[in-house]
Structure 1
Amino acid sequence: MKTTPSPPLTLAGIMSSFRRAFSGIALMSGVVNVLALTGSFFMLQVYDRVVPGRSVPTLVGLAMLAATLFVFQGVLELIRSRLMVRLGQGLDAKLSPSVYSALMRLPLRAKLPGDGLQPLRDLDQVRSFIGSAGPTALFDLPWMPLYIGICFIFHFWIGVTALAGAVVLFALTLLAEFRTSGPTKIAGQQAAVRSTLAEATRRNAEAMQAMGFGGRIAERWYAVNADYLNAHAAASDVAGTLGTISKILRLMLQSGMLAVGAYLVIQQEATGGIMIASSIMMGRALAPIELAIAHWKGFVSARQSWARLKQLLSAMPEGATSVTLPAPVSALAVENVSVAPPGERTPVVWDANFSLARGSGLGVIGPSASGKSSLARALTGVWLPARGAVRLDGATLDQWPTDELGKHIGYLPQDVQLFDGTIAQNIARFDPDASSDMVLAASKAAGVHDLVVHLADGYDTRVGEAGASLSAGQRQRIALARALYGDPFLVILDEPNSNLDAEGEVALSAAIQGIRDRGGIAVVVAHRSSALANVDTVLVMANGRVQAFGPKDEVLSKVFRSAAPLKVVTATERGVPA
């Protein structure tokens, strides 16, 4: 029993954990900005003390002092930049587990635009911006009043000139905010569309090549890519234009400061040292604004990414339970369950209601689009019921942590996907603590052991991305072994024989019977009747509703009398033990 549930992870909590790091960087930035006064005061002393006094020792002393201060400034700026990079890495390390977890669950809760990988790109954008020069400008901006104040100490009109320059560049910063937000958002959306099409092209390369429509898809790619490039260019043009304007304005303002200083020198209201020092001070005071404008596109992108991450983690909080439930061992109950696809409001399964005891085998049949696979997804907890509840031993599925619930459920979806890795890793669900005995037990329960050992590297055979190095039938049988790994109590098989040969059909029937014999519950969604050989109960679905539920022979006799197209081959007819 866990006495205290883990608190949900929030962006505010993560940023709070870096408070000391940010405080240290802010303090370091303060020292750097004070040291940045070195150049101005060195010039002031040279022009007002060294040159009039013609003192070489004073010049050497001032030069050595200035060089020392410049070295310290450079070291601190180097440390600060490296700290910012490490801060970005630390933020990624703390945030990426939650983002990846939400990324896995999000397609099961909502309809996603694009390729669904936007959260990872958002995290990369935030990390990259933190490690760039942009945030350092934000740390330097609060020190602008110091430089402007010193300019006022030099002379009132020098201070006014510096303040006017700061106001002009600040207005330019507001313009950058106004002009870059829209193009940057559009560029991000076009990038997602582009990535989606590229991924779809990679997945469907065989079909495009075989049927010769690759050229037409390529034309779509050219159009999508052109839209992306145009949007990216528009955002970059705005940022580049404003950055160039800010640079030119800063140079003009520095020259203007020299002109004001020269006028004051002519009027004998300032010295030559003040004239030069104030120009350097002006450049330093306005440099953070210019740097901020130059990186404003990245800042806007990072801010939009941060907002999306905040919305994602708020919508997909990680659950925490205070009590660990025992493994289910007795019953599955489906109580008035209605199911809607992620992001949809209209259910595709309506008010399903049935229960199964341990040792049961349920066959789910019905025409295409009748809701069979949707019901299967609800039984596994993949899709949340719109209403009603699915219970194992009386407890709803959401009372178990996801990883813990997964130990009690085996699932073979219609669309079999394996991960790049060895066959053993895929069967063991990539459990690092998996024993050879457990892998072999699952493999033998699925009847796939002989198939695996006849491969070149046996259980160490790498399956390739999505199992590309295996045939469809091999992938399906290995995925069946994965579903049986660890002897889960509830095993849901969705069209488990769609790619199987006769040998695979025999192995599947034996696996279903094995689940029942050890006291588990097997649910088989099928179009092909051979998958129902070793079930004892049948549920018929049509138009999203349960039409019949009961003993197999009784329900199937009603199906046959109603002229349903399904013909069930019994276990005796196929020579498989019932």
Structure 2
Amino acid sequence: MVSQSKEVPRTFLLAMLASLRKVFFSIAIASAVISVLALTGSLFMLQVYDRVIPGHSVSTLVGIGIIAATLFVFQGILELLRSMLLARVGVALDERMNEKVFGSLMLQHQLALVPGDGMQSVRDLDKVRSFLSGAGPIALFDLPWIPLYLGLCFLFHFWIGLTATCGAIVLVSLAVLAEILSQRPAAEAAKDLTARLAFAEGVRRNWEAVVAMGFVGRMTDRWTDINGAYMANQLVAANVIGTLTTTSRILRLMLQSAVLAVGAILVIQQEATGGIMIASSILVSRALAPVELAIGHWKGFVAARQSWLRLVKLVDILPAEIRSVSLPAPRSKLTVESLSVAPPGNRELVLRNISFGVSAGTILGVIGPSASGKSSLARAITGIWPASSGSIRLDQAALSQWDPSKLGRNVGYLPQDVSLFDGSIADNISRFDEQPSSESVVAAAKSAGVYDMIVKLPQGFDTLIGESGSRLSAGQRQRIALARALYGEPFLVVLDEPNSNLDTEGDAALTQALLGVRARGGIGVVIAHRPSALAAAETLLVIVEGRLQAFGPKETIIAEPVRQPLKQGAVRLKIGGEETGS
């Protein structure tokens, strides 16, 4: 499975680039024709000064004027088509990558993929698409044709060609210098931008606490520092590119004048014609325009290249989701064998050598002191966090053998930090199913004991709850999230502190929901500090400092601390109105 997961993303990227190869080839051909047609202006000037004016021939002027106008029209059409093709390349790239990028938003914390606010991959894709749709790639396609123009300058005269070549070398050196000088500040600015946006998003989510506790000023000061660091690097990058862009433009104008001066000397010495003098000046300007354009867009090129490299790395890290056989829905057992878990991106284990098994129709209560690893266990058995060692099995099949989307239909999960999505209550309960069954939505709401609360709302199940469920109370959000966990009657239901925001009525509804899971032959795992959440549990598991301290019937576990204290760090456990866990 490991080798396959690395091979498939690379195959995906190669296939994606291969599918765009014909488009890039078409753009390259169009650029070649455009580069030839761009000689129209110079050749027109050459004919006007060397034939029309000496011969006083208006008919010749009209003829070459019609030809030049036709060629200019064709050039304009080809440039428009080239721009449209580049825009289509950006759209095609987005169409092929957007599912991978969006999928990374769900997997980034699991695989420790993306720092900051987690939206870097989305911004990277936008940045690459925007660059491909702009003028930057046009300069890159035109750069290889500079030797054609320089060769024509040599055909006009050796000294004209030499002057143009020296100018081209200077401008190309400026482009290389732009690459060297802008790379580091651009990378630092991108890193600071990620931190800047992450901080802003954190303040936006927690604005109530910031305002209520009066540390708006301190947050503002910190924002000023973060924003200042970003702007400093942004300013350095902008100054570098701006300086080189201005220098290249001035040098190109000077070079154009220098070629004109060389041509004038050659005309005086009767080694060239006036037409050659004017045409070579225009030709040099056109030859070096792509270099100036490339330098002007170098900042965007560097940013797009860094974004592309991050996207390539992202696709390479994302696991393959290929399953040759779809496993049947689990029905009988959850088994945890020698499980050790570390947070993604961290080597320090938070769970060590945990082993237990529960059968269908069992409600397991997980208790222990704060920071003992209870929530980590919930994340592991739902597949959110990978196991560092050991295994988690449903009906003898390891979680890695399941297709994630199909496994998800058999798992209900209520995280400790409840978060709903902008949409209706029905959308959230049904997990945004495209064609949800009304009966299933109502059944989940009734199982969670939240049906009466929902139908009392003005729009009932169609009530829009706002971003993160902001229009609901904390207790309402938790009960709707419980209904979401119960939607579709999943086999494994994992609830992490499910009653932290519930009142007495909510506690009773939670107990009934767990009894319903047990009655239909499912498995419930309840992590709790408050004893009311454990009323339906007949089996308890005690975790202390990441290790399993006790596992067995609730009555036995409750009585055990009285007869024989647990290891150091454990606490006395009492159910029925008194404290548990810590």
Q: Secondary structure at the match of 1:519?
A: coil
**Which residue is equivalent to 2:580?**
none
**In the aligned structure 2, how far is the partner of 1:176 from the partner of 1:7?**
36
**In the aligned structure 1, how far is the partner of 2:114 from the partner of 2:280?**
55
Q: Secondary structure at the match of 1:334?
A: strand
**In the aligned structure 2, how far is the partner of 1:552 from the partner of 1:466?**
36
Pairing 1:523-542 to 2, within 5 Å after superposition: 523-542=525-544
**Which residue is equivalent to 1:568?**
575
Deviations 1:188-246 (A, max 9, x none): 11111111111111111111111111111111111211222221111111111100011
**In the aligned structure 2, how far is the partner of 1:307 from the partner of 1:10?**
15
Q: Secondary structure at the match of 1:269?
A: coil
1:71: Cα distance to partner?
A: 1.3
Paired letter, 2:446: K
Q: Secondary structure at the match of 2:371?
A: coil
The answer (yes or no) to whether the contact 1:144–1:286 under 8 Å persists in 2 is yes
**In the aligned structure 2, how far is the partner of 1:249 from the partner of 1:191?**
34
**Which residue is equivalent to 2:27?**
25
**In the aligned structure 2, how far is the partner of 1:488 from the partner of 1:30?**
61
**In the aligned structure 2, how far is the partner of 1:142 from the partner of 1:340?**
51
The answer (yes or no) to whether the contact 1:359–1:519 under 8 Å persists in 2 is yes
Q: Secondary structure at the match of 1:104?
A: helix
1:111: Cα distance to partner?
A: 7.1
Matched, 1:102 2:109: no
Matched, 1:341 2:343: yes
**Which residue is equivalent to 2:144?**
142
**Which residue is equivalent to 1:11?**
13
**Which residue is equivalent to 1:166?**
168
Counterpart selection for 1:207 from 193, 209, 220: 209
Paired letter, 1:161: T
Deviations 1:504-531 (A, max 9, x none): 1111001101111111100001101111
The answer (yes or no) to whether the contact 1:7–1:320 under 8 Å persists in 2 is no
Q: Secondary structure at the match of 1:557?
A: helix
Q: Compared with structure 1, are the counterparts of its residues 34 and 111 closer, same or farther at alpha carbon in structure 2 (3 Å cutoff)?
A: closer
Q: Compared with structure 1, are the counterparts of its residues 111 and 45 closer, same or farther at alpha carbon in structure 2 (3 Å cutoff)?
A: closer
The answer (yes or no) to whether the contact 2:114–2:120 under 8 Å persists in 1 is no
Matched, 1:267 2:281: no
Paired letter, 1:388: G
Query: TM-score with structure 2 length normalisation?
Result: 0.95
1:13: Cα distance to partner?
A: 2.7
**Which residue is equivalent to 2:232?**
230
Paired letter, 1:356: V
**In the aligned structure 2, how far is the partner of 1:558 from the partner of 1:467?**
42
The answer (yes or no) to whether the contact 2:413–2:495 under 8 Å persists in 1 is yes
**Which residue is equivalent to 1:574?**
none
Q: Secondary structure at the match of 1:354?
A: strand
The count of residues paired between Structure 1 and Structure 2 equals: 567
Q: Compared with structure 1, are the counterparts of its residues 277 and 111 closer, same or farther at alpha carbon in structure 2 (3 Å cutoff)?
A: closer
**In the aligned structure 2, how far is the partner of 1:156 from the partner of 1:500?**
88
1:556: Cα distance to partner?
A: 1.4
Matched, 1:64 2:63: no
1:113: Cα distance to partner?
A: 2.8
Q: Secondary structure at the match of 2:32?
A: helix
**In the aligned structure 2, how far is the partner of 1:317 from the partner of 1:386?**
16
Query: TM-score with structure 1 length normalisation?
Result: 0.96
**In the aligned structure 2, how far is the partner of 1:298 from the partner of 1:444?**
54
**Which residue is equivalent to 1:573?**
none
C-alpha RMSD over aligned residues: 1.5
Paired letter, 2:179: E
Deviations 1:143-192 (A, max 9, x none): 11111111111111111112111111111111000000011111111111
Deviations 1:341-396 (A, max 9, x none): 11110111000001111111100011101111101110000000100010001111
Q: Secondary structure at the match of 1:231?
A: helix
Unaligned ranges ≥5, structure 1: 571-578
**In the aligned structure 2, how far is the partner of 1:241 from the partner of 1:7?**
44
**Which residue is equivalent to 2:431?**
429
Counterpart selection for 1:122 from 124, 129, 133: 124
**In the aligned structure 1, how far is the partner of 2:319 from the partner of 2:532?**
42
**In the aligned structure 1, how far is the partner of 2:260 from the partner of 2:114?**
57
Q: Which stretch has the larger CA shift, 557-566 or 110-119? A: 557-566
**Which residue is equivalent to 1:545?**
547
The answer (yes or no) to whether the contact 2:424–2:463 under 8 Å persists in 1 is yes
**Which residue is equivalent to 2:254?**
252
Pairing 1:26-425 to 2, within 5 Å after superposition: 26-110=28-112, 112-425=114-427
Paired letter, 2:247: I
Paired letter, 2:118: G
**In the aligned structure 2, how far is the partner of 1:404 from the partner of 1:156?**
72
The answer (yes or no) to whether the contact 1:527–1:566 under 8 Å persists in 2 is no
The answer (yes or no) to whether the contact 1:85–1:130 under 8 Å persists in 2 is yes
1:295: Cα distance to partner?
A: 0.3
**In the aligned structure 1, how far is the partner of 2:388 from the partner of 2:143?**
51
**In the aligned structure 2, how far is the partner of 1:203 from the partner of 1:503?**
29
Paired letter, 1:195: L
The answer (yes or no) to whether the contact 2:339–2:389 under 8 Å persists in 1 is yes
Deviations 1:6-29 (A, max 9, x none): 954633332221111111111111
Paired letter, 1:257: V
Unaligned ranges ≥5, structure 2: 578-582
